[in-house]
């Protein structure tokens, strides 16, 4: 018996130790390029797929062949309209897919073009008959960065790019023309004085009011998300190590990341209403989940929250910090799991050690900063109906609390405030107000922006939040959906593995990887923290000179004008959100049925990756950019008007800043279409 076990054990050992190559046929480059092939008048493009990009190794036109040596392959494939192209594709490492927006068949089932290592796969001939920029994508999951394995193909003449550039100039020009006619307190023709009292709207109003005044409303909204967050933790730590198969990545970084931008536009800080991160801390401190409890009986050490933290700096910098590790964060479940664990733990401490209010939300949460900042461009706001009623009403239940509602946990004066930045929309003021003076309002984008911007003294935190968000919107589009592999690889530290808790060791970077990451971090942080702000300051100085205004400092103009990035940045992020969700919609939907990526199908919503008309993406992104640009220019004018109190001066300043915003818009246009 024992000898039998011995035989088995040695057989197993042998089997594992001997790495005998199994069918590991590799195509040599020579074999690949010299393989006989004849495709008449079609050009032949030799593409090598690798983790995580496509390299154009050679292009053959008739008998002429250009071979690009290692390291000098073009990032972008340029073809002429009407060109017939045959792609001869090999894989440099693992199995990949091959998908060209609008040209190859849908990427589902047997239609998928698979590039198996060791084989030469011929695709085409494809006749490129639609001018414009399209993307070449990988359609078979090939590792953590698979969703971002893309390259560009430009079908010349790229007419759409020229049209888009012309539209950018036209929209900028038209908006400037509009502001030259001295519109007072208007945004693109819509009055900023008007708003709609949502709670007085017929049918919807009373229902909404009853729901929000119900004490269980907040809890009911948080609960489903709490469940989702727990699934994120479970999937992040124990689920499939490959990001797009894992709930924590697919739902957080594809669905949520995209959805939150739309939530900001239409619902201001609605995300903060339903976010469960600070809930544990809040419930433990209050010793209540549902009902109101006397603040004197709360469980908290009640230490004073440091004054130096009462701003957006930590939020802004932690958002930037997260962005520096974003190639890992959005592809490695364990990194997301750890971040979520941290974001649940911190508010637990802040609630118990410091005064048990939303201090974490106000000044630490990496999402708070940008959601709050951009929510000033939202069409939605929580406001008092009549401020004078609140000012005259001494008991101030909205601050101190009442038996029906807590005093504002966000430490603002709900009755008197006129900015969304720090209103977390928990609706406690709706419950505590005895005068029925609090309501929800629909308004035009940027209603309070000019006043907020003009009053912004020393609010460098918010200005830099704007710069970070704006530059990152442009940068993400370039990094994630651009053809430049090297920059993705720098951020990714060159690691090809996914990771959950058990395999977290695979994320140990090499020295070269670390070195490259520092370069990446330097570029990202440099552009966001120094580069763009410096350019912005330069233009603000010019604006001051041209406006001929001496009563106001360049610094103030710089700070105030930076608020034009509130709507502009938001619309660029909306454009980015489109490319995230239209291409990768299948991942989050599948993740709900198979959260751990283990082959479950709980709700029967398993879908294969299949982008929705990705070739029209730039046509959807462009209008968002143009709206953002128009809003930015008009906002700049409104701010200048508020600050300088003079139309002529304000218009000249707007002209200067408008040039900068147009230039920034052109950069984005170049990335999506050029």
Residue ranges that bind another protein, judged by CB under 8 A: 8, 11-12, 15-16, 19-24, 26, 91, 93-95, 114, 116-118, 140-143, 216, 219, 223, 226-227, 230-231, 233-235, 238-242, 245, 283, 288-291, 496-499, 502-503, 506, 595-602, 608
Cβ closest to another protein, residue 105 vs residue 306? 105
CA-CA distances (angstroms) from residue 83 to 45, 304, 616? 12, 69, 21
Helix extents (H) in 287-423: 313-324, 326-329, 333-353, 359-363, 366-374, 387-392, 397-400
Closest distance between another protein and the C-beta of residue 120, in Å? 15
Tokens at 357, concatenated: 């209010």
Cβ closest to another protein, residue 52 vs residue 537? 52
Closest distance between another protein and the C-beta of residue 94, in Å? 5
Closest distance between another protein and the C-beta of residue 667, in Å? 35
Least Cα distance to 257 among 376, 147, 349 occurs for: 147
Closest distance between another protein and the C-beta of residue 600, in Å? 5
Tokens at 532, concatenated: 């763009």
Helix (H) or strand (E) holding 191: strand 190-191
Cβ closest to another protein, residue 33 vs residue 289? 289
Closest distance between another protein and the C-beta of residue 434, in Å? 17
Closest distance between another protein and the C-beta of residue 11, in Å? 5
SS3 154: strand
Residue 307 has, within 13 A of its CA and on its CB side, a CA count of: 0
Cβ closest to another protein, residue 283 vs residue 460? 283
Closest distance between another protein and the C-beta of residue 8, in Å? 6
Strand partners, 76: 152
CA-CA distances (angstroms) from residue 647 to 444, 552, 557, 639, 653? 22, 15, 16, 11, 10
SS3 150: strand
453 contacts 563 by C-beta, under 8 angstroms: yes
Place of tokens 């709206």: 627
Closest distance between another protein and the C-beta of residue 17, in Å? 8
Cβ closest to another protein, residue 219 vs residue 670? 219
Helix (H) or strand (E) holding 475: helix 460-481
- Could you give the CA distance from residue 596 to residue 670 in angstroms, rounded to a whole number? 38
423 contacts 269 by C-beta, under 8 angstroms: yes
Closest distance between another protein and the C-beta of residue 144, in Å? 8
Cβ closest to another protein, residue 409 vs residue 466? 409
Closest distance between another protein and the C-beta of residue 291, in Å? 5
Sign of CA dihedral 478, 480, 483, 487: positive
- Could you give the CA distance from residue 178 to residue 172 in angstroms, rounded to a whole number? 10
Least Cα distance to 598 among 144, 234, 328, 341 occurs for: 234
Closest distance between another protein and the C-beta of residue 522, in Å? 29
Closest distance between another protein and the C-beta of residue 225, in Å? 9
SS3 584: helix
Closest distance between another protein and the C-beta of residue 16, in Å? 6
Cβ closest to another protein, residue 70 vs residue 110? 110
Cβ closest to another protein, residue 26 vs residue 66? 26
Cβ closest to another protein, residue 19 vs residue 189? 19
Cβ closest to another protein, residue 40 vs residue 599? 599
Count CB atoms within 10 A of the CB of residue 13: 10
Least Cα distance to 589 among 600, 604, 574 occurs for: 604
Cβ closest to another protein, residue 227 vs residue 345? 227
CA-CA distances (angstroms) from residue 371 to 236, 265, 364, 456? 24, 10, 13, 18
Cβ closest to another protein, residue 155 vs residue 235? 235
- Could you give the CA distance from residue 610 to residue 585 in angstroms, rounded to a whole number? 8
- Could you give the CA distance from residue 643 to residue 638 in angstroms, rounded to a whole number? 9
Long-range contacts of 7-13 (CB under 8 A, 24+ apart): none
Cβ closest to another protein, residue 8 vs residue 166? 8
SS3 144: coil
């Amino acid at each position: 018996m024992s000898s039998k076990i011995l035989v088995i054990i040695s057989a197993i050992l042998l089997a594992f130790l001997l790495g005998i190559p199994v069918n590991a046929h590799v195509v040599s480059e020579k074999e690949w390029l010299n393989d006989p092939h004849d495709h008449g008048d079609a050009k032949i493009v030799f593409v090598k797929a690798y983790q995580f990009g496509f390299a154009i190794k050679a292009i053959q036109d008739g008998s002429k062949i250009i071979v690009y040596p290692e390291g000098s392959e073009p990032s972008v494939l340029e073809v002429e309209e009407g060109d017939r192209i045959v792609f001869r594709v090999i894989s440099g490492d693992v199995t990949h897919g091959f998908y060209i927006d609008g040209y190859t068949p849908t990427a589902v089932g047997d239609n998928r073009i698979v590039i198996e290592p060791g084989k030469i796969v011929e695709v085409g001939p494809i006749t490129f008959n639609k001018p414009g920029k399209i993307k070449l994508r990988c359609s078979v999951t090939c590792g953590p960065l698979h969703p971002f394995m893309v390259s560009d193909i430009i079908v010349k003449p790229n007419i759409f790019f020229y049209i888009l550039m012309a539209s950018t100039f036209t929209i900028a020009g038209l908006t400037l023309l509009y502001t030259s006619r001295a519109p007072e307190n208007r945004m693109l023709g819509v009055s900023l004085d008007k708003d709609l009292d949502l709670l007085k709207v017929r049918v919807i109003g009373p229902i909404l009011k009853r729901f929000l005044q119900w004490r269980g409303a907040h809890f009911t909204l948080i609960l489903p998300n709490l469940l989702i967050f727990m699934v994120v933790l479970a999937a992040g730590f124990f689920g499939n190590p490959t990001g797009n198969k894992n709930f924590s990545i697919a739902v957080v970084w594809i669905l949520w990341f995209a959805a939150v931008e739309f939530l900001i536009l239409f619902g201001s800080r609605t995300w903060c209403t339903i976010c469960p991160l600070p809930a544990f801390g809040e419930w433990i401190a209050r010793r209540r989940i549902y009902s109101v409890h006397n603040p004197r009986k709360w469980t908290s050490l009640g230490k004073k929250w440091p004054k130096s933290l009462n701003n957006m700096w930590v939020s802004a910098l932690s958002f930037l910090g997260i962005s520096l590790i974003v190639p890992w964060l959005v592809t490695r479940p364990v990194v997301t799991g750890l971040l979520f664990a941290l974001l649940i733990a911190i508010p637990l401490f802040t609630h118990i050690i410091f005064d048990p209010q939303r201090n974490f939300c106000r000044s630490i949460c990496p999402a708070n900063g940008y959601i709050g900042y951009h929510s000033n461009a939202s069409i939605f706001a929580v406001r008092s109906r009549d401020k004078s009623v609140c000012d005259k009403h001494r008991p101030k239940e909205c601050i101190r609390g009442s038996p029906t509602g807590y005093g504002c946990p966000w430490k603002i004066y709900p009755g008197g405030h006129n900015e969304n930045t720090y209103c977390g929309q928990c609706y406690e003021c709706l419950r505590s107000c005895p005068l029925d003076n609090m309501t929800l309002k629909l308004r035009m984008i940027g209603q309070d922006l000019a006043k907020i911007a003009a009053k912004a003294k020393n609010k460098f935190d918010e200005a830099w939040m704007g710069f970070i968000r704006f530059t990152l919107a442009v940068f993400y589009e370039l990094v994630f959906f651009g053809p430049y592999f090297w920059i993705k690889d720098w951020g990714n530290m060159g690691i090809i593995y996914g990771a959950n808790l058990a395999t977290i060791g695979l994320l140990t970077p090499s020295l070269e990887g670390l070195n490259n990451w520092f370069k990446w971090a330097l570029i990202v942080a440099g552009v966001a923290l120094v580069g763009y702000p410096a350019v912005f300051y330069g233009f603000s100085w010019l604006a001051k000179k041209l406006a001929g205004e001496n009563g106001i400092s360049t610094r103030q103009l710089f700070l105030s004008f930076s608020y034009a990035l509130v709507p502009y940045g938001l619309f660029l992020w909306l454009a980015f959100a489109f490319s995230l969700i239209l291409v990768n919609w299948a991942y989050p939907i599948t993740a709900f049925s198979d959260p751990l990526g283990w082959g479950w199908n709980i709700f029967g919503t398993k879908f294969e990756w299949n982008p929705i008309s990705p070739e029209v993406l730039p046509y959807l992104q462009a209008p968002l950019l143009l709206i953002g640009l128009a809003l930015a220019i008009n906002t700049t004018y409104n701010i200048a008007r508020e600050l300088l109190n003079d139309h002529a001066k304000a218009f000249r300043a707007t002209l200067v800043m408008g040039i900068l915003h147009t230039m920034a818009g052109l950069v984005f246009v170049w990335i999506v279409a050029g």
